[in-house]
Structure 1
Amino acid sequence: MSQNNLSSLEKKIIEILQSYPDASIPIPLLVEALGLSKKKGERKLKNAINRLKQLEHVMVSKGNLVRLNETASGDKNIVQGKLDVTSHGDGYVIVEGRDQDIKISRKYMSTALDGDIVKVKLMGYHKKSNKPLGRIEEVIKRASTLFVGTLDEVAKNTYIIKTDSHSSRVDFFVELNDLNGAKPGEKVSCRMIQWDDVRGYPQAKVVQVLGKSGSNEANVLSILAEKQFHAEFPPEVEQFAANIPDQIPEQEIQRRRDMRDEVVLTIDPADAKDFDDGLSIEILDNGNYYLGVHIADVTHYMPRGSTLDDEAFDRGTSVYLVDRVIPMLPERLSNNMCSLRPREDKLAYSCFMEIAPNGKLVDYSIEETVIHSNERFVYDEVQDILDGKNDHSLKPQLKILQKLANTLMDQRFKKGSIAFETPEPKFILDDNGKPVDVIVKERLFAHKLIEECMLMANKTVAYHVNTLRKKGGKSVKNDHPYLYRVHDKPDLEKLHNIRETAKPLGIHFDVDGSISSSKINALLKEVGGTSIEKIINDLMLRAMSKAEYSPKNIGHFGLGFANYAHFTSPIRRYPDVVVHRLLKRYNSGSTEYTYTQLEQIGEHCSERERYAVEAERDSVKLKQVEYLSERLGETYQGTISGVTENGLYVLLDDIYCEGMIRVSDLVDDYYIYNPNMHCLVGRSKGKKFRLGDTIKAKVTRTDLEKRQIDLALSDF
């Protein structure tokens, strides 16, 4: 569109937006960038923006965020990206370099399925949300996505897989030769073979029989398959692990720093079997702490490019479900060869840190070691020792670790770490995996002790590589590329939404101008101990950018660290394996991965981690639904955690799970949704249901397949 008739101010606005074509910029930042005065300048700027909006040069979204109108120029109408399909059947296309995903309604999806790379035509923006809308024009590349459903014989030798609502928006037909032994009524995972016409069924073949539909085993395996995980290892991977010698060669011990005569201890959950980190601690003559963080040396047993390494990369991470662990490495490695089990010689990769009493890092070294763990502690046991309830020969070491951890934690929060405290439910299961009780996990100082030591080691190894790069004086891409754990600043528009959510509750959240961790911590502190603490914590977590793995070091906003990498869990995280390899290679004066390879590894591992987190949450929700399925009609106290025009979301306090009261079930009045006040208001009686209110709710219905809980007000 022509800019000939624009004022000089309007042209300057366009120039700034063109410099950041994929960004949404707050009006206060534009005022500052243009050097305008705060009051008169902002009024003048808003008038200019309104005119640009009328001329279709710009879009203005919630929170007064301004961005270029992409559909105003034809060359940006077609984009390419990856399709992510929701459980409701709508999709979002993720396009690299864009800060907003493109929403695709079900009717514009064509034959595209979840995970496909697609070509999209931009069709404008949603009237209310200003989110970009699009239509899929072409499937560029099919994904090898696993789908989950129940096999049904609709006619003789005619089979359909009726997919779960969480898995796919379409059902599949299966030919007799592609059943893979599946029988009608069984839950299966499948992959699509072809789909050429949107008017017909896509064709698929069965990959795995998950069990009888509705059984606990089928439900859990379905969650894994939905998130593209599988439990069993290929035979060649198991064979590779089986061929690894049990004994550590003497020459391997000789070339390492021998820590077997030093006190090393591990602290883990009571049911843990993969002990990937150990600690040693002492006070030096100069009064400084000398902390050793000893990590299982997985890379010694897993050569790059081996069948074992390829499988670990594909998995990317271990998955921790309520009733089982799906490990990244075969059990022989994760629970035996690599696990730092007590009173056994083990190979480790260790980060030794000299730390001043004020928590400042004075010196460090990163070395290959051999250790001999003296004690395998569990968290409750350590807490009792620290509290003086029990005694132990290693109590002096634990008390030193306690003092150091307190110092490190204090320093971390002073420098900008965000203090999230999110309670988690813990299930008591019977022998069949059925939940018989649910409690909220207690977070002990013993947990924080381990966490602070691991954070310190992760921060130190990242600092080390940055130091090497500064000595080299070359570009990041060419000199010591590294795989960082990065965390960008939160989404400003979502923070504006939190401010609007908190305002009716009498809480002020300042998000004008720049956002800082201190502002976020102030809000979290203000709501601490109130009925809306969980609500605000959840909203803030959703507003946060997702932490990712990348060779581009932008720092870690949530932790307040300029340099951070994952080093401490190579048994269960593939990025830690990569970090170990990089550190070892740089220590020997050679290289291991290119910057481009690390970009690709980071993208893959970040995606696998997201899927693992979703699977873990789904398994928790499944057990919550199972638990309440046996308690229909029972009443619980809860807190209104969300209000929509469709009804109320209620978080049940004792069991920490969420269900919904539909507005149609509020039968004492006709309720109207007030989005500004986050409440439903009765038209006749004026009764209000507000975010944060405490109510009593009765369990009326559960759906295991959809993992949904329906509630009703027990007061009616």
Structure 2
Amino acid sequence: MTTETQNDVIDPHAQREAEKYDNPIPSRELITQTLEEEAKPLRLFEIAKVLQVEEEDEERFEALSRRLKAMVRDGQLVRNRRGAFGLLKKMDLVRGRVLGHPDGFGFVVPDEGGKDLFLSEKEMHKVLHGDRVIASVIGEDRRGRQEGGIVEVIEHSTDELLGRLAFEGSLAWVRPDNNRIAQDIFIPSDGLMDAKENQIVLTKILHQPSARSGPIGKIVEVLGDYMDPGMEIDSAIHAHGIPNKWSDELQSELAQIGDEVTETDMEGRKDLRAMQLVTIDGADTKDFDDAVYAKRRKNGGWKLVVAIADVSHYVKPGTELDKEAYKRGNSVYFPQRVVPMLPSKLSDGLCSLNPHVDRLCMVADMAIDAEGRLERTQFYQAVMNSKARLTYTQVYEMITDETSSLREEFAEQIENVDTLYELFKVLQTAREERGALEFDTTETRIVFDEERKIEEIVPVKRNDAHKLIEECMLMANVATARFLKWHKMPTLFRVHESPMEDRLQNLRTFLADFNLQLGGGDTPTAHDYADVAKQVEGKPYQHLVQTVMLRSMNQAVYQPDNKGHFGLNYENYTHFTSPIRRYPDLLVHRAIRYVWSKKPVNEFNYDDSKMTEMGQHCSDTERRADEATRDAETFLKCEFLSHRLGEEYEAVITAATNFGLFVEMDPLYVEGLVHITELGDDYFHYDNARHCLKGERTGKMYRLGDRIKVQVAQVNLDERKVDLRFIESLTEDEAVVENADDQVEESDDLQDDESSKKRKPRKKRYYRKKRSGRSKPKANKE
């Protein structure tokens, strides 16, 4: 289409526009299409002429002008210095979200995918972490990364932030708790609200940063002193933007829901109240999503019933409850505190499968053969009455000690528990034959004293009771994914894609040092990974190899495009079992309920496009929760260690970087950094593929899993960092690597820019440049 040869313009979205406006104008899609066909930026009057919007029709012409400005504001178009509107992709521009780094630089994560765009400290002074921007590619930095310049900020994400108030003479500023925001917020004297130095304050941003000035704000709330108990959680909640208040509209809506399950609620449901369903959870769990029951079938197989809280009965699409649940995405579990996805009336009450009360549930009723294979599943809505609230510790004792008094205390449930354990052993064997990955990792629990100071940090051991429930939930999730796939329903799968090519190449290089090979060529399976894990069982380097294999894998995400679950080695997998605390599970329940309605799939509330958007949001809120809890726990651990300066500990190396070693101290389960300058008189080089630091002159190597002795040198609570002094190595080189004579000395930077950072030296011994914390990786259980 050109201005000279244009015919009647046909807008494919004309009907939609006509439904929305009395005097419709060209749709955004048609405007974009027009600019693509014209192959050049156009001014307002030129676009109007092509789209046959007459200047004399003032109302439509003005509406078109407003739409073009809105498309610029939303980052769909860019307006150049001549006032012409153009397409981002034609102008070598990138639209995306800013990801700040504690060291002051940052990245633009493109909305359309692809490689991140590096932003220098100078460019980051114009924006804050989370802002949405349009950036141009201006070249490459010294590491070969595409470097960007901010063209326009299209959305500021930070209106308020939490931080610590500081003074210098008559000037005051707030240092943000979120370490991704490297800029301090200047506070004028009339915005101090009588706050005192070192107090944690909530600051409203009055003036966003720009090329000429930094951010300016005013204090709107004083939360308390820096070291007050629980302040680390408040800080993490605000720093990561976790919603934690219920609106008046939601509270009003919640009041309309009764406190008990009614006869009306039970209508049309299968009655399972006589079934010996039980919940099995941790001792401190308050929200019970799932209950289980198993029995043997006459053909030698099994009947497994997994009953899940029917949250979708109470939380309807479009309600305030639904909007808030989606915004939160998931519950966030801090030490001794939970920010729930749903109000406690639902999460701990009506939707929680508490013992000896009637509850509504969604049921996956599964037939499993004698080899642990899923044969068929029936889904239905039911009413149940949990016969017991059991803990993992109780169940483990019941299944491993036939003389336990618990077997008498729960005599009515013991047959169900024993049958579940028998089924678990069959499912566990099937899991091993399937080649699903299961790495041994250590999770910890913080034990507090009466003043909410850390008393100790203890490991949490997973026993067969934990694994029993996990296998039941995995089976229900697989059954659900198959069901929705069969009915071609738009839904969110839990997708764990195969490792990327560059990570596989690094992994193979690393394994070669141990005379190990990863099978599967360019597309290895979980079975290939499991074969390697089996080969290193009992070897001194077992943990090292498992850790590197784990780090080679991708992060699991929610998306409608089913690409299977690599780690669990499932072709179809979704999340069905925790709708109280995960929004994707609630969407899955709605999809199942829609199948029952037998209405056309294309009339479902959510299509694949909407599911893609919601999946990305839920994946983001999941990462947000992980980062927030890690921040709070890191502060607590730093405070715990600040009273142990000068003490010595044995430690294991958990990460090697180009600036030092991260180690976890025994028996504290606290991580700290041994800077590279602490390692001795040598030039140490980082080998990315082999995850180690190696001395150029001495050949001394430090790698994951090695044990060393360290001393606590310094703890910086502001930056949540622990500096350790190296004392001695406790691992002999030859005991770690069987084939280490010919080590390659190439040195690459860490691929994970989120965790990679260099410290700049102070004048004295230690190093204080801001950097992000590294935490021990955890196996993806789902």
Q: Which residue of 2 aligns with 1:231?
A: 244
| 1:422 and 2:441 aligned | yes
Letter in 2 for 1:142: H
Partner Cα separation in structure 2 for residue 544 and residue 384 of structure 1:
35
Partner Cα separation in structure 2 for residue 152 and residue 77 of structure 1:
42
1:276-425 pair list within 5 angstroms: 276-389=289-402, 390=404, 391=407, 392-393=410-411, 394-425=413-444
Partner Cα separation in structure 2 for residue 308 and residue 181 of structure 1:
37
Partner Cα separation in structure 1 for residue 173 and residue 590 of structure 2:
47
1:166-205 pair list within 5 angstroms: 166-174=179-187, 183-195=196-208, 197-205=210-218
Letter in 2 for 1:82: R
2:107 equivalent among 92, 99, 123: 92
* SS of residue in 1 equivalent to 2:205: strand
2:684 equivalent among 645, 669, 672: 672
- Alpha-carbon distance change, 711 to 322 in structure 1, aligned in 2, over 3 angstroms: same
| 1:151 and 2:170 aligned | no
- Alpha-carbon distance change, 310 to 687 in structure 1, aligned in 2, over 3 angstroms: closer
Cα distance, 1:303 vs structure 2: 2.2
* SS of residue in 2 equivalent to 1:216: coil
Task: Tell me if the contact between 1:581 and 1:592 (Cα under 8 Å) persists in the aligned partners.
Answer: no
* SS of residue in 2 equivalent to 1:583: helix
Gaps of 5+ in 1: 1-72, 470-479
- Alpha-carbon distance change, 415 to 146 in structure 1, aligned in 2, over 3 angstroms: farther
- Alpha-carbon distance change, 520 to 488 in structure 1, aligned in 2, over 3 angstroms: same
1:384-533 pair list within 5 angstroms: 384-389=397-402, 390=404, 391=407, 392-393=410-411, 394-469=413-488, 480-504=489-513, 507-509=516-518, 512-530=521-539, 532-533=541-542
Cα distance, 1:231 vs structure 2: 3.4
* SS of residue in 2 equivalent to 1:410: helix
- 1:250-283 Cα offsets, whole Å, 9 max, x none, are 1322321000011110000000010110012222
- 1:267-301 Cα offsets, whole Å, 9 max, x none, are 00000010110012222333331111111111222
- Alpha-carbon distance change, 696 to 531 in structure 1, aligned in 2, over 3 angstroms: farther
| 1:109 and 2:121 aligned | no
- Deviation larger for 87-96 or 457-466: 87-96
Letter in 2 for 1:151: L
- Alpha-carbon distance change, 512 to 589 in structure 1, aligned in 2, over 3 angstroms: closer
Normalising by structure 1, we get a TM-score of: 0.82
Letter in 1 for 2:574: A
Partner Cα separation in structure 1 for residue 326 and residue 191 of structure 2:
28
Q: Which residue of 1 aligns with 2:557?
A: 548
Q: Which residue of 1 aligns with 2:134?
A: 119
* SS of residue in 1 equivalent to 2:606: coil
Cα distance, 1:518 vs structure 2: 2.3
Q: Which residue of 1 aligns with 2:151?
A: 137
Cα distance, 1:188 vs structure 2: 2.6
- 1:137-171 Cα offsets, whole Å, 9 max, x none, are 22122224653311235566x64222246141111
| 1:656 and 2:675 aligned | no
- Alpha-carbon distance change, 691 to 578 in structure 1, aligned in 2, over 3 angstroms: closer
Task: Tell me if the contact between 2:506 and 2:690 (Cα under 8 Å) persists in the aligned partners.
Answer: no
Task: Tell me if the contact between 1:276 and 1:568 (Cα under 8 Å) persists in the aligned partners.
Answer: yes
Cα distance, 1:373 vs structure 2: 0.4
Partner Cα separation in structure 1 for residue 578 and residue 214 of structure 2:
44
Letter in 2 for 1:438: I
- Alpha-carbon distance change, 416 to 687 in structure 1, aligned in 2, over 3 angstroms: closer
- Alpha-carbon distance change, 179 to 273 in structure 1, aligned in 2, over 3 angstroms: farther
- 1:509-547 Cα offsets, whole Å, 9 max, x none, are 468532322232233334445555444444433432221
* SS of residue in 2 equivalent to 1:272: coil
Cα distance, 1:82 vs structure 2: 1.4
Cα distance, 1:671 vs structure 2: 4.2
Partner Cα separation in structure 2 for residue 174 and residue 561 of structure 1:
54
Q: Which residue of 2 aligns with 1:78?
A: 93
Count of residues in correspondence between the two structures: 631
2:654 equivalent among 626, 636, 641: 641
- Deviation larger for 698-707 or 679-688: 679-688
- Deviation larger for 265-274 or 459-468: 459-468
Partner Cα separation in structure 2 for residue 615 and residue 558 of structure 1:
25
Task: Tell me if the contact between 1:699 and 1:709 (Cα under 8 Å) persists in the aligned partners.
Answer: yes
Partner Cα separation in structure 1 for residue 594 and residue 440 of structure 2:
38
Task: Tell me if the contact between 2:125 and 2:209 (Cα under 8 Å) persists in the aligned partners.
Answer: no
- Deviation larger for 632-641 or 365-374: 632-641
- 1:297-319 Cα offsets, whole Å, 9 max, x none, are 11222222222221111111001
Partner Cα separation in structure 2 for residue 167 and residue 182 of structure 1:
24
Letter in 2 for 1:704: L
Task: Tell me if the contact between 1:211 and 1:217 (Cα under 8 Å) persists in the aligned partners.
Answer: no
Task: Tell me if the contact between 1:679 and 1:691 (Cα under 8 Å) persists in the aligned partners.
Answer: yes
Partner Cα separation in structure 2 for residue 679 and residue 93 of structure 1:
30
Q: Which residue of 2 aligns with 1:570?
A: 579
1:608 equivalent among 621, 627, 632: 621
Partner Cα separation in structure 2 for residue 446 and residue 513 of structure 1:
37
Task: Tell me if the contact between 1:117 and 1:143 (Cα under 8 Å) persists in the aligned partners.
Answer: yes
Task: Tell me if the contact between 1:582 and 1:592 (Cα under 8 Å) persists in the aligned partners.
Answer: no
Gaps of 5+ in 2: 1-87, 730-782
Cα distance, 1:674 vs structure 2: 5.6
| 1:705 and 2:727 aligned | no
Q: Which residue of 2 aligns with 1:50?
A: none
- Alpha-carbon distance change, 607 to 209 in structure 1, aligned in 2, over 3 angstroms: farther
Partner Cα separation in structure 1 for residue 188 and residue 288 of structure 2:
46
Task: Tell me if the contact between 2:291 and 2:306 (Cα under 8 Å) persists in the aligned partners.
Answer: yes
* SS of residue in 2 equivalent to 1:714: strand
Cα distance, 1:463 vs structure 2: 0.7
Cα distance, 1:197 vs structure 2: 3.0
Cα distance, 1:712 vs structure 2: 1.2
Q: Which residue of 1 aligns with 2:630?
A: 617
Cα distance, 1:172 vs structure 2: 1.5
Q: Which residue of 1 aligns with 2:750?
A: none
Letter in 1 for 2:684: I
Partner Cα separation in structure 2 for residue 299 and residue 509 of structure 1:
44
* SS of residue in 1 equivalent to 2:230: helix
Partner Cα separation in structure 1 for residue 255 and residue 215 of structure 2:
41
Partner Cα separation in structure 1 for residue 141 and residue 537 of structure 2:
36
- 1:206-248 Cα offsets, whole Å, 9 max, x none, are 4654321233322221112222114343344344334421232
Cα distance, 1:680 vs structure 2: 4.9
Partner Cα separation in structure 1 for residue 646 and residue 168 of structure 2:
36
* SS of residue in 1 equivalent to 2:258: coil
Partner Cα separation in structure 1 for residue 135 and residue 438 of structure 2:
40
Cα distance, 1:442 vs structure 2: 0.5
- 1:413-448 Cα offsets, whole Å, 9 max, x none, are 433422233211222111232111112110111111
Partner Cα separation in structure 2 for residue 146 and residue 526 of structure 1:
52
Q: Which residue of 1 aligns with 2:55?
A: none
- Deviation larger for 205-214 or 562-571: 205-214
Pairwise CA RMSD = 2.7
| 1:584 and 2:603 aligned | no
* SS of residue in 2 equivalent to 1:460: helix
- Deviation larger for 526-535 or 193-202: 526-535
